[in-house]
Amino acid sequence: MSTFGDRRLFWAGVVAVTAGVVLHLPMYAEARAMGYRMVGMPIDLTMSLGMVLILVGLVASVWGLIPRDHHRSPSSGTPLRVRALDEVPIRGAHVALMLVMAAAVTIDVMKPATLSFVLPGMTQEYGLKSPLHPTGHIPAALLPLSGILGTVIGSFLWGWMGDRLGRRPSILIAAMTFIATSICGSMPSYALNMLMCFVMGLGVGGMLPIMFTIMAETIPARHRGWLLVLIGGDVAGAYIITSWLAASLVPTYSWRILWLIGLPTGVLLILLNRWIPESPRFLLAHGRSEEASAIMRRYGAAVVHDEAPRPLPAADLRLTRPPFLGPTILVVLLGLGIGLVSFGFQLWIPSNLQKLGMTQADASRMLRNSALIGFPLNFLVAWLYGFVSSKRTLMALSALTALSLFGFVMVGDGVVANRALLYALLVMPIWGISSVVAVLSAYSAEIFPTALRSRGTGLAAGLSKAGGLLIIALVALAVAPPSIAGTALIGAIPMALAALAVAVFGRETHKRELESITAEQLEGRLVTRAS
C-alpha cells in the first residue's frame, strides 16, 4: 500500500516501542506490596532501556510511514470524478471501516476521559493541591493542563499532516503515541507523568479529526451523516467504559492501571490498520489516480472522467478567507464552548461529587449511569442529523446542553441532596456534550473541501480542547474555583452563544455530496474569477 514509505521499518518500530513499554512493567509490579505507589522510586536500568527503545521505535515507525511521494503538491484540478463513491450501496468494506473507526474513536476518547478518574488517586500519591487535598503545593490541574495542551497542538499538527502526508499514515502515527505513552502508569514522578501526558495528548488530539475526515470521504452521501454521528456518539461509550474500568480496577491496581491499558488498546489499533484505507479523494487530489482506483474498487466504485467545472486551485483556499470564513467562525465558537464544558464541568465533576460527600466508587457509578441513560439517544441524534437536518440538530443539542448547565447554576451544591434531579441534569453535560462533539466532528468534515478538510476537522478538534486549556489554566492559578455551579456557568454561556452561531453561520449538509457542498460555497468566487 502507498501508506508505507518502508513497511519493514514501520513494523520494526512497532516492535521496539511495544518492547520498550513492556520493560516498564517490572517496576510497576514491584510496587504491588505498597498499593502500587511508585512515587520516589528510582528509575532502574530496565526502565531506562525501555525508554531508549520507545524513542528509537517511534522515530523508525514514523519514518517508515512517510510516503515516498509526500512532497507532491495537491492537484486540485484533476478531471477525475470522486462522486462515484457517493453512488454505491453500503458494502462489506464500508462496514469493516465503520467497525474499525468505532473502535478507534472509543480508544481515542478514553484517553482524555481517563484524566478525571486518575486525578483523585494521583493527587493523594503525589500530595497535589486539589479540592480533595487543599493543603498540597503543586496544583493537580497541571496534569490535565499538559494533556489538553498536547491535544490542542496535536489537532492542528495532525490536521496539517492529514492534508499533506495522508489520512491513513496520520492515524497510525497517533496509534503509535498511544502505545508509547501508556508508560504514564509506571512513571515514579509527577513531572514525568506530565511529560507523558502531553505526548499522549498530541496523538489523542490528532487522531479523532483524521478519522472523521477519512469516513466523510469514503461513506456514500445518503448514509454519511447518520453513520458519522452514530460512530462519533461512541464518545459516550468511551466514557461508560472508562468509568466502569475505574470503578472495577482502580481500587485494586491503583489509578496507574488506567494509563497502562493504553498498551493493548494501541497495539489493537495497529493490528486493525489493514481495514483502514487511504482516502480516494485525497489520492485523487494528489494526482495518485491508480491508487485511488484500486481503493474505490473495494467500495464498488470506479474513477471516471468528470466534466464539472475545474475548482479553484488549492493554493487559493484558506480557512480564514471567504467562502470558508463563516464556517470557520462557527467551528471556533462551538469548539470553545465544547471545551469549556468537557474540560471544565466534566473534568472536575468526579472530584466535586466526592468533595460533597460521595465516595469515589459512588461518584464513578453515578457518572457511568448518567452516560448510560443518555447513550440510547445517540441513535435519535444520528437519525435527526442524517435524515432531518444537520444544522438544526447541532443547534438543538447546543441549546439543551446550555439549559442543563444553567440548571446546575441555579441549584448549586444542593443538587446532591436530590439524586433524581442530579441524574436529570447530568445527562446532557455527560452524554449530551459527547453528542455535540460527534455532530461537530461530522459537520466540520462536511463543510470544508478536500484540500482543507483535515485542517478544518483539526481546527474543530483543537478549539474544542482550547476552551478546556483556558479553564484548567485558570483553575491551576486558583482564579476560577472548580465548584459545580462555577464550572457549569463557565460552560453554559459559550454553549448558548454557540447555538446562536450555528443559527447564523450554519449550512445544511445532510444527504448532500461533499463536492456539491463545496461547489455551492465556491460558486460566487468561481464567477468572480471567470469574469
pLDDT exceeds cutoff 90 at 15: yes
pLDDT at 478: 59
The distance in angstroms from the start CA to the end CA of the chain is 43
Q: Decide: 509 and 447 in contact? Cβ < 8 Å.
A: yes
Q: What percent of the chain has pLDDT over 90?
A: 11
Specify the amino acid at residue 139. Answer: P
Average pLDDT over residues 92-98: 82
pLDDT exceeds cutoff 60 at 70: no
Backbone angles phi, psi at 39, to 5 degrees: -60, 130
pLDDT at 309: 47
Specify the amino acid at residue 378. Answer: N
pLDDT at 477: 67
pLDDT at 531: 36
Average pLDDT over residues 11-38: 91
CATH of 7-67+78-309+320-530, one of 2.60.120.260, 2.60.40.1120, 1.10.3720.10, 1.20.1250.20: 1.20.1250.20
Specify the amino acid at residue 49. Answer: L
pLDDT for 233-265, tens place per residue?
666 677 778 888 888 888 889 889 989 988 998
Question: What's the helix, strand, coil split of the chain in %, to 5?
Answer: 75, 0, 25
pLDDT for 397-406, tens place per residue?
989 999 988 9
Longest CA span, the chain: 78
Average pLDDT over residues 47-66: 92
Average pLDDT over residues 123-144: 76
Alpha-helix runs per DSSP H in 127-271: 142-164, 167-180, 190-216, 221-232, 234-253, 256-260, 262-271
Give ∠ CA 422-427-433 in degrees, rounded to 5: 135
pLDDT exceeds cutoff 50 at 319: yes
pLDDT exceeds cutoff 90 at 17: yes
pLDDT for 134-155, tens place per residue?
676 787 778 878 888 888 899 8
Average pLDDT over residues 39-46: 87
pLDDT at 475: 64
80: which strand partners? 305
Confidence of residue 180 (pLDDT cuts 50, 70, 90): very high
pLDDT at 51: 93
| Nearest to 155, CA basis, from 86, 101, 203, 211 | 203
Mean pLDDT of all residues in the chain? 80
pLDDT exceeds cutoff 50 at 77: no
- Return the higher-pLDDT residue of 80 and 370: 370
pLDDT at 245: 86
pLDDT exceeds cutoff 70 at 316: no
Cell digits of residue 433: 456534550
Average pLDDT over residues 457-468: 82
pLDDT exceeds cutoff 80 at 4: no
pLDDT at 527: 41
Q: What percent of the chain has pLDDT over 70?
A: 87
pLDDT exceeds cutoff 60 at 312: no
What stretch of H or E contains 440? helix 433-446
pLDDT at 507: 81
pLDDT at 529: 44
Domain boundaries, the chain: 7-67+78-309+320-530
pLDDT for 218-235, tens place per residue?
888 788 888 888 777 666
pLDDT at 54: 94
pLDDT exceeds cutoff 50 at 528: no
pLDDT exceeds cutoff 60 at 468: yes
DSSP characters over 404-426: HHHHHHHHGGGGGG-HHHHHHHH
Confidence of residue 201 (pLDDT cuts 50, 70, 90): confident
pLDDT at 438: 81
- Return the higher-pLDDT residue of 477 and 396: 396
Average pLDDT over residues 431-454: 83
pLDDT at 145: 81
pLDDT at 393: 92
pLDDT exceeds cutoff 50 at 357: yes
